[in-house]
Amino acid sequence: MLKNILSRLIKKADEKPETNPVPAHYRYQINADECRGCDRCKKICKVGAISGERRKVYVIDEEKCIKCGTCMKWCKYKAIQRLDFV
Ligand code: SF4
Ligand code: SF4
């Protein structure tokens, strides 16, 4: 019984999604005029999509970003915005 459940779970985990699970209709962007280079967003991004040097403008790598929105919530200078494609 347990073996069957585990085998089904493993099979499901191996299946490739038919479509990219990351939404394509929006993205996150750091506003160069507002970013203070505090490093907060870089530390909080769990996929390492944000790079930059302290006190300079940080950038989001769109290829790595999974669009979770966490960085936007954590930026105390409101420098990160969500851009919707219409
Ligand atoms: S948290 Fe905000 S101000 Fe700080 S580096 Fe990131 S975008 Fe810039
Ligand atoms: S939206 Fe999420 S994955 Fe993308 S840069 Fe911000 S914290 Fe990282």
Domain 23-84 top-level CATH class: alpha beta
CA distance 78 to 72: 7
Closest CA to ligand 2's atom 2: 68
Query: Residue 68: nearest ligand to its CA?
Result: 2
The model's pLDDT over 26-76, given as tens digits with 9 standing for 90+, comes to: 999 999 999 999 999 999 999 999 999 999 999 999 999 999 999 999 999
Closest CA to ligand 1's atom 6: 41
- The pTM (predicted TM-score) of the whole model is 0.79
List the chain domain ranges. Answer: 23-84
Closest CA to ligand 2's atom 8: 45
Q: Is 37's C-beta closer than 6 angstroms to any atom of ligand 1?
A: yes
CA distance 58 to 20: 26
Ligand 2 atom showing the smallest separation from residue 80 Cα:
6
Closest CA to 67 of 16, 17, 21, 19: 21
